[in-house]
Amino acid sequence: MMKRIAVFTSGGDSPGMNAHIRAVVRYALHKDIEVFGIIGGYNGMIKGELIPLGRRETANIISLGGTILRTSRSMEFMTEEGRAKAAENLKISQIDGVVACGGDGTFRGAHLLWLEHEINIVGTPGTIDNDLFGTDYTIGYDTAINTCAEAIDRIRDTAGSHGRVFIIEVMGRHAGFIAMDVGISCGAEFIAVPETVTDLDILNERISQQGEHKRTIVIVGEGDEMGNASTIAQIMKERYNIDAKVTILGHIQRGGSPTVRDRVLASRLGVAAVDALINGVTDKFVGEINHEIAYTPLEDAYSKKKLLPQYIIDLSELLV
Ligand code: F6P
């Protein structure tokens, strides 16, 4: 029986987290469940920083980037003592279930909270990286790729005017989802991602094909095995005497008002997470696969690798 639940955001923030918090709170209230927000992710859970959330606290936040509950990457929660303190605080506050919105580190912690302390907990996908097994899309991904595309379209103007080679680094940690979608959508001449072997001879050939006017857009996913954008630029100079400008898009990818797709996904998964807790689901990740809500064991959500679809890799090669 769920009478009181808590929600928190954890790991890197992502656009749509606020829409998600709003959905959790509003749907829970419809079901006569009280909701508390945990401030600052697992660190706040350890300190017992919980605040009541209602309609008023979640008004006017659906369009906001970041997270009103703040977030952290908690080192203390990685220790048994930290998790014990956190569980104790949840019990003192009579929390019957928890919604944890974040990425793989968040789910690792959530799984341990269930295993060690029997805290009912479900995870939801809050990361721009789209790298979570058990969901087609993560909350924040769509906004992040659109932010990248807008920035790269601007860079393309300058690349065209001056006939320059630009090497642009995007986020994604060990996964190339952002780089691939952004590269295809911006008509990049070359895309380097961790999932494929990066062959700079091919890049050199494509730049040569441009002739005198070398306008070239190269997208590098930050986890690429060849190195980051600066390393690749250095290699291009040393090996082929090609000068390239480097742009690292960085944290502009994480902020900003969420797109409609992210707001809708965040809202749907907020409702689904509350429903899961009401139905006695625990230790599960709540995602969306082929438009349907899907539950995946938390352990799989952080340990199994979500593969970059082959069709998208093929597409990126077919259109250069
Ligand atoms: O997981 C989201 C993400 O933005 C990754 O793409 C990136 O590698 C990392 O977080 C950056 O983390 P931080 O904000 O702690 O520098």
Per DSSP, the residues of 183-246 read HHHTT-SEEE-TTS---HHHHHHHHHHTTTS--EEEEEETT-TT--HHHHHHHHHHHH---EEE
Give the domain ranges of the chain.
Answer: 4-140+258-303, 142-254
Ligand 1 contact via 58 beta carbon (within 6 Å): no
User: Rounded CA gap, 210 and 174, in Å?
Assistant: 31
Instruction: Decide whether 4-140+258-303 matches 142-254 in CATH topology.
Output: yes
Nearest-atom number in ligand 1 for the CA of 171 is 6
How far, in Å, is the centroid of ligand 1 from the Cα of 267? 23
Give whole-number Cα distances, 61 to 65, 72, 254, in Å.
8, 20, 17
142-254, which class in CATH?
alpha beta
* Structure tokens belonging to residue 176: 């190339």
Nearest-atom number in ligand 1 for the CA of 103 is 1
| Distance, first Cα to last Cα, the chain | 56
Give 98's Cβ-side CA count (13 Å radius): 34
Q: Cα 259 to the chain's mean position, in Å?
A: 14
Ligand 1 contact via 128 beta carbon (within 6 Å): yes
Closest listed residue to residue 258, CA positions, set 18, 11, 6 = 18
What local confidence, expressed as pLDDT, does residue 250 receive?
Answer: 98
Ligand 1 contact via 12 beta carbon (within 6 Å): yes
In total, the chain counts a number of residues equal to 320
How far, in Å, is the centroid of ligand 1 from the Cα of 173? 7
Closest residue by Cα to atom 1, ligand 1, is: 12
Task: Specify whether the CB–CB gap between 23 and 266 falls below 8 A.
Answer: yes
Ligand 1 contact via 103 beta carbon (within 6 Å): yes
Containing H/E element for 24? helix 17-30
What local confidence, expressed as pLDDT, does residue 320 receive?
Answer: 85
- Which residues have a catalytic role annotated? 129
* Structure tokens belonging to residue 64: 């906001």
- Pocket mutation for ligand 1, best pick of 173, 182, 248 (most atoms within 8 Å of C-beta): 173
User: Rounded CA gap, 40 and 24, in Å?
Assistant: 17
Pick the CATH number of 4-140+258-303 from 3.40.50.300, 3.40.50.450, 3.40.50.80, 1.10.287.1060: 3.40.50.450
Does the pTM of the predicted model rise above 0.95? yes
How far, in Å, is the centroid of ligand 1 from the Cα of 12? 6
How far, in Å, is the centroid of ligand 1 from the Cα of 134? 20
CA quadruple 87, 91, 94, 97: dihedral positive or negative?
Answer: positive
Pairing type for strands 284-289 and 292-297 reads antiparallel
User: Rounded CA gap, 268 and 161, in Å?
Assistant: 44
Low-confidence ranges of the chain (pLDDT < 70): none
Please give the single-letter amino acid code of residue 158: T
Task: Specify whether the CB–CB gap between 226 and 200 falls below 8 A.
Answer: yes
